[in-house]
Structure 1
Amino acid sequence: NNMYPGNDPDLPELTQMEEMLISPVHALIQVWQVRGGQYKYTGHTCNFTCENAVFHAKVPLLPEQCEIMIMRQKGQGSTVNLAATQDFRVRHEPLQHWLQFLSQHHPTFQGARVEIDWDALQQLPVDGSVYNRLHTIEVED
């Protein structure tokens, strides 16, 4: 019945942020609340569904294009502890491997529906956080 998907490809595991960058369909807006404490678990994450999912014709997205909102306390500054920024880790090489695989094996990426923007990929870090490139709102305590 042609249901066998083939051998499991040897692809690196992606972070949630990396998955969002290469996904052509976005159906959620993610809001992160980060407090000034020393531990990441002092903040919260909420996902809100969009009434209409957004289809992106070019991937990867840049962090500024993702529907992620960071809420932090007013006057906290743009730096937070390392644990909080690990959720926003992006690695160039795994993204490149996945995009090459998708362009060869996924029907959405093989046709003209989704274009791989190799220039955008070059604007992403080799291995680092994109936390400071996301939309940020300062809120009162």
Structure 2
Amino acid sequence: MGIFPKCMEEDYKDLANGKKTVSSLIFGNRFNADQTLYEYLIEFLLVFVSAKEENLQEGKMKFHDISIDRKLSYWVEPRMALRRFIFYDKAKKKGSIPADELAYRSMIELLVSKIEIDDKEAAREYIESIQDLFRGYSVVIKKDSGVLDL
């Protein structure tokens, strides 16, 4: 009897040799046993909305079609600035580097300068309010490692 899909024969060999787990074979390395339902949904949506080609354009808002192309890759556009804007000031700084702090401060100053108001302290308060608003929509907050994720 054959194996479906044929393009994954090497993966099945790795599974038999103990080099891979069934969950990593089915879902890739995006899923862990301690994740919540919301985290699983976020991972599925990330794959769905991401480009399926290196040009970062083709395949967005689609699932992989292995009957046409046997590749199961996807490319995500980095969104570090948004993550930094929302979470950096409240996260533990254990794994951060001085460049993170510099990037965060520079981003906040740039945003403050874009707000058309004479009182810069009020502009900073507006920025903090926007951060609090975004933080309120977060689904995953892992306080033990300082990792905060959308």
- TM band (smaller chain): under 0.3
> Which has the higher Rg, Structure 1 or Structure 2?
2
Which structure's residues are more often helix, by fraction?
2
Task: Return the TM-score normalized by structure 2.
Answer: 0.21
Task: Return the TM-score normalized by structure 1.
Answer: 0.22
